[in-house]
């Protein structure tokens, strides 16, 4: 309390020490001693896919490896929770990037696809935490066979939910 009987908070040295220790323990990846992703997979799947998705906007001289370094530095397990373990989410994200005209209505996936670094972080997170290498660039520019129904249902649900927020936002103006 201060001299006017107001409560004032200050951070104790014990609290600072405990928080700093927790922060140091939280990270399980040290980029100075190990690589987060396999360079072979990055060269054959991830970077060609990113070029296909974002290359027109960024040009031929863009340094994709720098984007990967930034994404690895930010550590994909320290980010908002997206369902990267869900193959349907990854497929929808892939389709939003390689066939952007197919997703004109607002949705979570379209919003994520607009953010290049977030997309890269999510793809790296999928790689690191859910089984390693997966196909991206070598897949066709359409829904993978056998996933049509799941992708359609998830897309409809996502766009319906997003429409509620867009309508609510428009009505509040």
**What total number of domains does the chain contain?**
1
Higher pLDDT, 72 or 147: 147
Domain membership of residue 83 as a residue range? 38-172
- Whether residue 31 lies inside any domain: the answer is no
- Whether residue 30 lies inside any domain: the answer is no
The secondary structure element, H or E, covering residue 77 is: none
- Whether residue 23 lies inside any domain: the answer is no
What is the pLDDT confidence band of residue 83, given thresholds at 50, 70 and 90? confident
- Whether residue 6 lies inside any domain: the answer is no
Which of 111-115, 123-127, 156-160 has the least mean pLDDT? 156-160
- Whether residue 85 lies inside any domain: the answer is yes
Tell me: the pLDDT tens digits for 118-128? 999 899 888 88
Query: What is the full DSSP assignment across 94-156?
Result: HHHHH-GGG--S--HHHHHHT-HHHHHHHHHHHHHHTTS---STTS-SSPPTT-HHHHHHHHH
- Whether residue 77 lies inside any domain: the answer is yes
**Three-state secondary-structure class, residue 41:** helix
- Whether residue 25 lies inside any domain: the answer is no
pLDDT at residue 79 greater than cutoff 60: yes
- Whether residue 26 lies inside any domain: the answer is no
């Amino acid at each position: 309390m201060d001299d006017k009987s107001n409560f004032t908070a200050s951070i104790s040295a014990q609290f600072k020490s405990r928080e700093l220790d927790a922060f140091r323990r939280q990270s399980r990846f040290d980029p100075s001693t190990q690589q987060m992703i396999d360079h072979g997979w990055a060269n054959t799947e991830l970077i060609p896919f990113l070029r296909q998705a974002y290359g027109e906007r960024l040009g031929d001289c863009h340094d994709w490896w720098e984007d990967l370094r930034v994404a690895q530095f930010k550590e994909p397990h320290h980010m908002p929770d997206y369902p990267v373990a869900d193959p349907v989410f990854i497929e929808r994200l892939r389709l939003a990037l390689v066939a952007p005209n197919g997703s004109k209505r607002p949705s979570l996936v379209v919003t994520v696809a607009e953010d290049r670094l977030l997309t890269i972080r999510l793809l790296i997170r999928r790689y690191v935490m859910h089984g390693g290498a997966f196909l991206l660039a070598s897949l066709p520019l359409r829904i993978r066979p056998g996933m049509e129904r799941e992708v359609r249902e998830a897309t409809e649900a996502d766009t319906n939910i997003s429409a509620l927020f867009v309508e609510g936002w428009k009505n509040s103006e």
